[in-house]
Chain A
Amino acid sequence: MPNSIIQIRNLITQYGDKRILDQISLDFFENQVTVILGGSGCGKTTLLKSIIGLVSPAAGDVRIFGAPFDAADESHYNSALRRIGVLFQNGALLNSISIAENVAIPLEQHTRLDHDLINQIVMTKLHMVGLDHAAYLLPSELSGGMRKRAALARAIALDPELLFCDEPSAGLDPLTSAALDDLILTLRDQLNMSVVIVTHELASIHRIADRIIFLDQGKILFSGSLTEAKTCQISEVELFFKTGSF
């Protein structure tokens, strides 16, 4: 059994009276790509945001790297954040600076590397996502898919141990999407990175998922490997894989 890198215990998140996540207990393991699945509005993004602390839960614990992940405990929170990369649904690039500068932000803020080295790392990361030729363009000059790739380059700028991706392949063409999947697998193998992905894309799930979590109405319906998921008897999960395959 691999080491558990995130532990969630009895997590409850609600907006007002509406309960989004209901008593979730879950572990994410080191060096694995875990995919969170489920229909629209089942709480996937909220689960992701609750884990990384952008949404504060009503009850329950989240532990990352073995310690409670809580903004109130600033020293652990900040040092843990440096070991985490997050790719947001819409990229969330800073619009006023070029994508090379966007990728350089975490390197400049959190390391003592010199300028040349940072430049070289930035260009390498942009090359890995296939955007080195566009380094000096502004985010508003890029297409949606390019923006997402640039955002991924920023998320992996510090070679994080833990990468969260919210719908990384939504809006990408199949080739680019496959290339990103390969990149995520390379990072997993190369840097022992653990990856948590929210996605709907079945093709992508087939390529990268080591483990699948299926959410439905704020509860975990299924958790296990891809082969287990495909032979699973739970009707929602069965339907998801049957409808989506071609």
Chain B
Amino acid sequence: MNNMASDNSLKSSRIHCRDSLLILDGPLSIHTIPELQKNLKQTRLDTVTTIDLSGVDYIDSAGVAFLEQLSERTGSAANLQKANEKVQRALETFSSHQNRKPEQSPEPNFFESVGNSVYSFGESALDFLYLTSEIVLWSLYGIFHTGSRRKGSVIQQSFLIGSNAIGIIALLSFVLGLILALQSAAQLRQFGANIYVADLIAISMVREMGPMMTAIIIAGRSGSAFAAEISTMKVTEELDALRMMAINPISYVVVPKFLAITICMPLLVTLSMILGILGGFVIGLTYLDLTFVSYFNETISILTAEDLLVGLSKSIFFAWVIVIIGSYFGFKAQGGAEGVGKVTTSAVVASIFAVIFLDALFSLIYMI
């Protein structure tokens, strides 16, 4: 069964010109207009003064737009004639003559846009500092006052941030140890300094690679999740709802993450250090023919408590940076789905950058 409008999509329309008369036939709809426009290119329009619509039995909004364009092109003299009552009413309904042009604000000039970006950078920096201070404050408060957050939320977050990341961190650290050992073994072997592979792996895994690798993985895994979760809550007004229930969004949403990551990060880094050393150990035993005892003794003797302390203390700073940056971008989200995507990307990029930058800074400080 077909209804009238569907018939129109199958029917074709014609256009022809007789002296000053332009005659249109058939339905003028979204389906027939493209064809008509093509035919119109071969028609001379400058002599047309009247458009005859007596053959038009159906017209939709595209048809009306087309007619309006047509009478504009033929000059204002051309008028539409013999439209039946229905077509006449459609011409009024879909007329574009009353359309108001929207105002567009003028583009800012060069100095304005430079000024704007400087100003907004200053504001973001200030916002970031405010948020940092609030998170630190509420986290300190949250250690002793467990009532300000949902029961069990720190444990739940620890699972998400910590337990679920054990597999990937263990695997990557082991492979990293393996690669480091293999690369350095090839060089050290030439000098008969095989045993120093143990020193190299131990020091680099504990002081640098362990904390940094773990932080980068956590930034990608959990930093993105923080930003996505908080920004979604922002755009769906969940954060406003919390505020209106007299609940501080920071202490309810961010503090559990902050506390959980502070606990989990050193543990994950320790795991990473051990697995990295194990990776080197495998190479030492198989490729360099070292004995278990000599490799083990060398590792133990070179590592000091200071190395461990440097590695672990760094990792806690990395953890904090990841939470703060993730939350900062989350709270900054605007709009809808696209806003969430944008801030998630920015959060991951910014936190990985911050981790590496901070690591360089720490190296510098410890050297002095």
Whether B103 sits at the interface, judged by CB under 8 Å, is yes
Choose among B4, B61, B65 the residue that contacts A192 (Cβ–Cβ < 8 A): B4
Q: Which chain B residues lie closer than 8 Å to A202 at the CB level?
A: none
A159→B60 contact, CB < 8 A: yes
Of A111, A120, A138, chain B has the most CB atoms within 10 Å of the CB of A120
A133 to B99, CA, bound (A): 8
Closest A residue to B98 by beta carbon equals: A127
Choose among A121, A132, A136 the residue that contacts B62 (Cβ–Cβ < 8 A): A121
A65→B94 contact, CB < 8 A: no
Choose among B1, B95, B103, B337 the residue that contacts A133 (Cβ–Cβ < 8 A): B103
- Chain A nearest CB, measured from B146 CB (Å): 36
A120→B69 contact, CB < 8 A: yes
A30→B30 contact, CB < 8 A: no
Q: Which chain B residues lie closer than 8 Å to A105 at the CB level?
A: none
- Chain B nearest CB, measured from A3 CB (Å): 6
Q: Please give the number of chain A residues whose Cβ is less than 8 angstroms from any Cβ of chain B in the complex.
A: 39
Interface string of A94-125 (1 = CB under 8 A from B): 01100000000000000111101100110111
Closest A residue to B105 by beta carbon equals: A136
B100→A121 contact, CB < 8 A: no
Choose among B6, B64, B69, B89 the residue that contacts A65 (Cβ–Cβ < 8 A): B6
B102→A134 contact, CB < 8 A: yes
A138 to B6, CA, bound (A): 34
Closest A residue to B103 by beta carbon equals: A133
Question: Which residues of B (37-95) have their CB < 8 Å from a CB of A?
Answer: 37, 60-62, 64-66, 68-69, 86, 89-90, 93-95
B6→A83 contact, CB < 8 A: yes
- Chain B nearest CB, measured from A57 CB (Å): 22
A96→B103 contact, CB < 8 A: no
Whether A245 sits at the interface, judged by CB under 8 Å, is no
Q: Which chain B residues lie closer than 8 Å to A83 at the CB level?
A: 5-6, 9
Q: Which chain B residues lie closer than 8 Å to A121 at the CB level?
A: 61-62, 65
A111 to B96, CA, bound (A): 20
Closest A residue to B60 by beta carbon equals: A159
- Chain B nearest CB, measured from A9 CB (Å): 16
B102→A136 contact, CB < 8 A: yes
Choose among A133, A135, A190 the residue that contacts B90 (Cβ–Cβ < 8 A): A190
Q: Which chain B residues lie closer than 8 Å to A10 at the CB level?
A: none
A190 to B4, CA, bound (A): 12
Whether B122 sits at the interface, judged by CB under 8 Å, is no
Contact flag A159-B61 (CB < 8 Å), given A5-B3, A120-B96, A140-B334: yes
Whether A186 sits at the interface, judged by CB under 8 Å, is yes
Question: Which residues of A (54-97) have their CB < 8 Å from a CB of B?
Answer: 65-66, 83, 95-96
- Chain B nearest CB, measured from A208 CB (Å): 17
Whether A139 sits at the interface, judged by CB under 8 Å, is yes
Interface string of A123-159 (1 = CB under 8 A from B): 1111110001111111110000000000000000011
Closest 8 CB pairs of A and B: A95-B336, A112-B34, A96-B338, A159-B60, A120-B65, A140-B335, A66-B1, A135-B102
Q: Give me the interface of A with B, judged by CB distance under 8 Å.
A: 3-5, 30, 65-66, 83, 95-96, 111-114, 116-117, 120-121, 123-128, 132-140, 158-159, 161, 186, 190-192
Q: Give me the interface of B with A, judged by CB distance under 8 Å.
A: 1-6, 9, 29-31, 33-34, 37, 60-62, 64-66, 68-69, 86, 89-90, 93-96, 98-104, 334-339
A5-B3, A65-B2, A124-B96 known, 11 other contacts, Cβ within 8 Å: A4-B1, A83-B6, A95-B336, A96-B335, A111-B34, A117-B62, A120-B96, A121-B65, A132-B100, A159-B30, A186-B93
A/B interface sample: 7 pairs, CB < 8 A: A65-B1, A65-B2, A65-B6, A120-B96, A121-B62, A124-B61, A161-B3
